[in-house]
Amino acid sequence: MTRADGTQVQFIQQVRVLDAVTQSDRVVDVLVQDGVVTEIAPSITVIPASAEMIAGEGKVLLPGLVDFYSHSGEPGYESRETLESLLAAGQAGGFTRLGILPDTEPAIDHSAMVEKLLARRQTIAQTDPSLPHCHLWGALTQGAQGQQMTELAELAAAPIAGFADGRAIQNPLLVQRLLQYLKPLGKPVALYNCDRTLRDSGVAREGPFSLIYGLVGDPASSETAALAALLESVAEIGTPVHLMRLSTARGVELVRQAKERGLPVTASTTWMHLLFSAKDLGGYDPNLRLSPPLGNPEDQAALIAGVKTGVVDAIAIDHTPHTYEDKTVGFPSAPPGAIGLELALGILWDAFVVNGDWSPLTLVQALSTNPAGCWGQSPPTIQAQQPAEMILFDPAEHWTVSTATLRSLSANTPWLGKAIPGRVVRTWVPPL
């Protein structure tokens, strides 16, 4: 509510506040004035008369979520997703910061494109300041095609979050050269590890279920061989690297060993690889066709344990919109990827927090605190005298996923038509 002097005031009463930065989990009153958390206490007795009263019972106040990497359809594929619909989807899912991969058309491989997209976000946000901030990845290679490196120094001078292609670079010598050139630039680097020669035409992780379902297998070595080679380059050159889309048990083990060796690496998996395995492919749902493919059950278990122990630092959404026509084909022919920004928090909370597998703070750490840290950013936190970058989440509210309820333009998700738990009811995003 706005007071006569123009001040925005909200009073959230008796809400459960989770903050991984301070490792706190408590029920308190929270007062927010002009986008700043001014007071947190077990009971606040002095409340401005004009404050908007928000009931917090049964709800959870979380730091804003941070998605390390997802895909925008704009520019080039606006029928799948515009920047406006992507931001709206992120807002609906509780994300206050969105990492956008550079594989647009044209790609984000020069500073002019960076400036154009950030200006576009500012224009969109004029109508709704609570939309997420965009953090753009600059392409490592021209067109994000993995052939020839971009003007790295020029891109580093632009307001990018870091460097990534979002696609696997097949030339190991090029990867080495990139790490050498990038080291003095001091920007985050994210790499997807996949040997496409070993993958061949595989569409499901090789194992008993690929055989049972008659799907061409993609061996785990397509990930681990590329990952092992990259880790040797990191050991030799010393450039910090984020390892994207970890999907195998052996990959988790390689990351654990690398961290024990003191290598400067962080790692993430996607939310879908935590919730599904190759065992779930029997229905041939094209929305479960992902890259990398869903792992076998032992891979899924290792990823879940990796998030719990911190070997896997972050959970990425890797939101990948496709049109109905894109996905209405046979499983092997479907383009890989699924949407998830609006769905992930409630489904992950229900799958891992409600059943006690993870503490609530483990989920907050993996969806908010650690992704920001991988960028070298200050993480969202809920503390007095700090800007309000937070979300109010109702884990008990159920809603049905449909084209009418989704903010994304695309609906390529296995939950389409199903009721799911958890909904974000309010978002606070500080100005840039």
The 3-state DSSP class for residue 218 equals strand
End-to-end CA distance of the chain: 22
Contact assessment for residue 121 and residue 83, using Cβ atoms and an 8 Å cutoff: yes
Identity of the residue numbered 286? P
Using the structure block, give the residue that is written with the tokens 């109702």. Answer: 394
Burial of 172 (0-12, 13-18, 19+ CB in 10 A): middle
Instruction: Identify the active-site residue in 299, 318, 350, 394.
Output: 318
Q: Are strands 390-400 and 60-63 parallel, antiparallel or unpaired?
A: antiparallel
CB atoms within 10 A of CB 380: 29
128 catalytic residue (yes or no): no
Query: Measuring CA to CA, how many Å separate 141 from each of 68, 137, 213, 234?
Result: 19, 12, 37, 19
Q: In whole angstroms, give the CA distance from residue 331 to residue 353.
A: 31
Tokens of 116: 């154009």
Q: Directed axis angle between helix 83-92 and helix 111-125, to 10°?
A: 60
Separation between Cα atoms, residue 151 and residue 426, nearest integer Å: 41
- CA atoms of 408 and 20, how far apart (whole Å): 29
Alpha carbon distance 134, 163 (integer Å):
14
Q: How many angstroms separate the CA atoms of 311 and 305, rounded?
A: 8
Which residues are catalytically annotated?
318
